[in-house]
Amino acid sequence: MSYLIDRKTELIFRTASLVTESGKARSVVIESRPNYAVVKLSGTQARYPISWEHIFHLAKSRHDANVRLEQKAARQLETKRKEKRVQVRDRKERPVAGHSR
């Protein structure tokens, strides 16, 4: 039985997202390497290597931050709904001016 120890593949992804650099909209290009990725903008020479582990930790921290923001927004929405219910209830209980029961 044999095993492939060192993989020599290279994948290049051109994303649909655009980043404005020097006044031009450019797509993000990601070159996949076995131990890291290289991120660059199309039409530029600048390349930024980043490890797969770092990408994972960035994604995890962004996810955690997004979950906290969603929970905060849900709490604020619930607070507004409760305040609105109280205002409606108060209006129904308050007698109308000029009318007596």
Q: List, for residues 21-72, the tens digit of each pLDDT value.
A: 889 999 999 998 889 999 999 999 999 999 999 999 999 999 999 999 999 9
The residue whose two tokens read 């909209």 is: 25
Quickly list DSSP for 43-95.
T---EEEEEHHHHHHHHHHHHHHHHHHHHHHHHHHHHHHHHHHHHHHHHHHSP
What are the structural domain ranges in the chain? 11-91
pLDDT, tens digit, 9 for 90 and up, residues 76-91: 999 988 888 877 777 7
Residue type present at position 12: I
pTM above 0.85, yes or no: no
Please report which confidence band the pLDDT of residue 2 belongs to, taking 50, 70 and 90 as the band edges.
very low
